[in-house]
Amino acid sequence: MNNSLVLSKDEDGHEVIVMGKGIGFKSKQGDSIDEDAIEKVFVPNDQRSKQEYVRILESVPKEHIEGINTALDNLKGYWQGELDDRYFLMLLDHIAFAIERVQKGIVLQNKLLNEVRIHYPEEFEAGLAVVKDLNERLNVNLPEEEAGNIAFHLVNAKTEDKNFDNTVLSMKMLKDMLNLVKYKLKVHLDYRSMRYNRFVTHLQYFIHRFLENKQLNTKDLFLYEQFKMKYPTEHKCAQSIASYSKNMIGHDVTDEEKLYLMIHLVRLTTQEE
- Residues of the chain with pLDDT > 90, as a percent, come to 33
The per-residue pLDDT for 95 is 93
Pair 125, 83 in one domain: yes
> 6 and 35 in contact (C-beta within 8 Å)?
no
Pair 144, 186 in one domain: no
* pTM score, whole prediction: 0.65
**Could you report how far apart the first and last alpha carbons of the chain are, in Å?**
23
Mean pLDDT for 83-92 is 86
The number of domains in the chain is 3
Q: pLDDT tens across 29-70, in order? A: 888 888 888 888 888 888 888 888 888 888 888 888 888 988
Domain residues for the domain of 127 are 60-158
Mean pLDDT for 116-144 is 90
Alpha helices, DSSP H, located in 23-120: 47-59, 62-73, 85-103, 113-119
> 4 and 61 in contact (C-beta within 8 Å)?
no
Pair 8, 64 in one domain: no
Question: Of the candidates 175, 151, 20, 16, which has an alpha carbon nearest to the alpha carbon of residue 94?
Answer: 151
> 246 and 253 in contact (C-beta within 8 Å)?
yes
Residue 125 CA, distance from chain mean position: 19
Question: Of the candidates 34, 121, 32, 28, which has an alpha carbon nearest to the alpha carbon of residue 80?
Answer: 121
Distance CA 232, CA 225 (A): 10
Residue 132 has pLDDT above 60, yes or no: yes
Please report whether residue 190 resides in a domain.
yes
Domain end point (choices 105, 140, 158) = 158
Outline where DSSP puts E strands in the chain. Answer: 5-9, 15-19, 40-42
Pair 148, 197 in one domain: no
The per-residue pLDDT for 168 is 60
Residue 148 has pLDDT above 50, yes or no: yes
